[in-house]
Chains A and B, each alone.
Chain A
């Protein structure tokens, strides 16, 4: 589509940024701005004192040396030494246990190694078993309690997020509970406070010290817009993985299994919705419901007098971190409607064609080169030129990336170009999405321009 549209992309990217996980801190990341010291409230002080015994820093170290590849946070959930953190904090170990190992440091100074018992890739959680250092006195683990689901929080309640931001030191950050994130396919809590890299996996607790959620992500384009995984998801993982054996082999098969289940639910929910109208005068153009995505609109600049267009980008604001090369579970839909009646047939064809040619398919290392099929497709008399490309994910067997590009070709100076992208779906769902998307096109009124 239009190259000049790239100017407008940042706006859309803002939404995509929401998916930005609070990645494990590295020592070479930008130094945090020196914060103006604000007096910690007495409540915060009390919370920190009450939870520091359960708080830990989770470190991913290289297998054969003590250098850390990434750090995050975690918290003890069972007196036998079970702890919860984020999947993305330990994903390097989960996917390449032959290269990495896990270690932890507790707020009160005790250290040891950690074993990975179970993961919930979709909600970005992992369950660890902590082992005290050999020869040292055994660590007494006291678990943090979860707040009961029967006592829901109300908006505006104070929350305290704990963790070890940027490997600087254990810290407590005050914030506000703002309810669930709107239009998110997966449940997340909107936390009005600062989450910094390194705090991932740490607990967010209410003023009684009960776990509300797990620190997971923050928007980098705003301030104090952060996200928590709801506590019950961590409890589910604890129940499921409590008895599990430590993982010693790469967990690609397990990650893939979870991604497959997730995409099945996502695509089912997506295709169950009717398309919205794009309010185009001639064509029925599929625009998704805004139940778990948001559509951003933009239009051609004022200076562009001849080829005018309107653009709609519908993006999911949350993706699933599956590994360093893959953000999965995303469906994005966009279209551009063009009007070039002052250009004339040939000039319009030239610009319209350039926009159709200016498309990228299958970038990145995680997937194979795309293979495409193209054809004129008929939608109840409306002819579309359609290119559908699929590439296979190399490490997640049975999952594919789909891109469907389609364009109307019936009017000499008007047209609509649309595109649907889906990341990490199975083949049957790739076909299903293709069909569902193309069926969304059709005539509204047919007036033969010829």
Chain B
């Protein structure tokens, strides 16, 4: 090999370990390229699940690169744009740009000169790439929120030191949350990043609280109790988007999969909550009535005659009777 003349670079192969981390970069200067466990291969993989001469890469008469599988028990799987093709011993298939080869527990990524180069990715993306004032601005807002919530929830003679606990406690929780995500980033991307997670956490914590308050106020002001009943659902949804944003930072190559998983878990979690609420209390949404009262000036809806409420109650009779009959049949000995 050392005596071989160095020609132009025909391709670049990246060997990845089972986790997907790149372990070796190999410049290809001549075809065919042989891959296997034996040392006489161009790419010798010390993977016990790989055959001595596992596969060969070579262009055919038309110049199309093909993969020819050698004498192997496990074969080769070609992954291309999300779909996989399993090749057995002595089969072959054309290779397209961006294909990923799975041999035993090893993976091989091949870059060819004709492959289109993707545009350069920004170092930060999504929310994490927000303007500079975002973190201090949001942190101030969060601080004001926490203090205001403490103020509203306390008596008029509350001492200043009683504001410290929620302030410091909230800050500590936020920091720990971001620290955990930062460590997750380190684990999966190799880089420890705190700030992007801090931005995401601040924005979503505020959105979550704000939306909750908005629903509470609107439910009262407009006399739409449903908005109040939907508050847990809104929190669920915001929480899911929040989590997805963190996962985008941690698993930048799997953003769609992560979003899909989070969405699926959210839907499933909410369905379970709804079913158990239904079993327990005959309601899909747990809340029995909108329990929050607001200052008088915030009310827009007007009072209706007592008779309207009584008429509204009348509609409950048949469902309640039916429910009681069902419960009698279900809950008691025949």
* Chain A interface residues (CB < 8 Å from chain B): 96, 98, 305-307, 342-350, 352-353, 356-357, 359, 361, 365, 367-379, 382-395, 397-398, 400, 405, 407, 409-412, 427, 430-431, 434-435, 438-439, 449-450
Contact = CB atoms under 8 A, between A and B. Distances in A.
Given A368-B327, A386-B309, A431-B310, A345 B316 contact: no
Contact of B303 (A96, A347, A377, A390): A377
B207 to A, nearest CB: 22
Interface stretch (B83-91, B93-101, B262-270, B288-296): B288-296
B293 A388 contact: no
B225 A439 contact: no
B313 A357 contact: no
B169 interface: no
Contacts of B19: none
A409 B293 CA distance: 8
Nearest to A430: B313
A356 B293 contact: yes
Given A353-B292, A431-B314, A434-B310, A369 B299 contact: no
A353 B294 CA distance: 7
B305 interface: yes
B320 A400 contact: yes
A201 B310 CA distance: 42
A412 B298 CA distance: 10
Given A96-B333, A389-B289, A409-B293, 10 more contacts: A347-B154, A352-B293, A353-B291, A353-B292, A371-B319, A373-B316, A388-B313, A394-B327, A394-B331, A397-B328
Contacts, number: 152
B282 to A, nearest CB: 4
A373 B283 contact: no
Contacts of B325: 397
A450 B297 contact: yes
Contacts of B156: 306, 342-344, 347
A431 B313 CA distance: 7
B296 A410 contact: yes
Contacts of A400: 320
A410 B304 CA distance: 15
Contact of B309 (A307, A345, A388): A388
Contacts of A395: 328, 332
Nearest to A348: B295
Contacts of B327: 368, 394
A345 B295 contact: yes
B302 to A, nearest CB: 7
